[in-house]
A and B are shown apart, each in its own frame.
Chain A
Amino acid sequence: DAKTTQPTSMDCAEGRAANLPCNHSTISGNEYVYWYRQIHSQGPQYIIHGLKNNETNEMASLIITEDRKSSTLILPHATLRDTAVYYCIVSKTSYDKVIFGPGTSLSVIP
């Protein structure tokens, strides 16, 4: 599976959009981009995933560049409850094991 690179930490003001970048320059054509988040002392939670096209759900939007070498997770109106570690993962299939990196620690500031 391709590796991903994310910033170690980010801050975001409450109510503003949080844009979390991820680089996956070695991604192959059949690999999906998944995003999970982990709030302190809880198990990781799925957010969104995509293959080529941009995706949006009730939690977030996922923007994947045309060359698929990077992506951005967007939380449109960050709240204090969005403070968490966000993991960007590349996986060949929807049901394969998921390999987590260190992720990005997002702090939403009042």
Chain B
Amino acid sequence: DTGVSQNPRHKITKRGQNVTFRCDPISEHNRLYWYRQTLGQGPEFLTYFQNEAQLEKSRLLSDRFSAERPKGSFSTLEIQRTEQGDSAMYLCASSARTSGTGELFFGEGSRLTVL
């Protein structure tokens, strides 16, 4: 399967713990995006990268959230000191300028439950 891969698919943690999600984009896609989605809402933009450079972070992204894409390939999203309000689906997407339609390709998401 050459699609966007996210791990883990499900994570249950206690409040105050740190969690990390990994996203492996489609090979050679230079852009990678992170979104968060809660029940009944559309995906909310968090941040995105072009290669290893983080181009934009949503002002809604608190200091407890950090994302990296160290070698311009996979990316990690870390949440420190989790809160119950962090419970959501975390979606990763990738895209490439060489793609004719320029669309985003999404992974299946990582569902976080904070107890």
| Cβ contacts under 8 Å, A94 to chain B | 99, 101-103
Interface residues of chain A, those whose CB is within 8 Å of chain B, are: 34, 36, 38, 42-46, 49, 85, 87, 93-95, 97-103
Q: Which of A42, A85, A93, A95 has its CB near the most chain B CB atoms (within 10 A)? A: A95
Question: What bracket does the count of chain B residues touching chain A fall in?
Answer: 20 to 34
Is the beta-carbon distance between B108 and A44 smaller than 8 angstroms? no
Tell which of B41, B101, B106 touches A43, judged by Cβ atoms closer than 8 Å. Answer: B106
Is the beta-carbon distance between B103 and A49 smaller than 8 angstroms? yes
Interface residues of chain B, those whose CB is within 8 Å of chain A, are: 4, 31, 33, 35, 40-45, 48, 56, 91, 93, 95-97, 99, 101-109
Given known A-B contacts A43-B4, A93-B102, A95-B95, A87 and B42 have beta carbons under 8 A apart: yes
Is the beta-carbon distance between A43 and B45 smaller than 8 angstroms? no
| Cβ contacts under 8 Å, B42 to chain A | 85, 87, 100-103
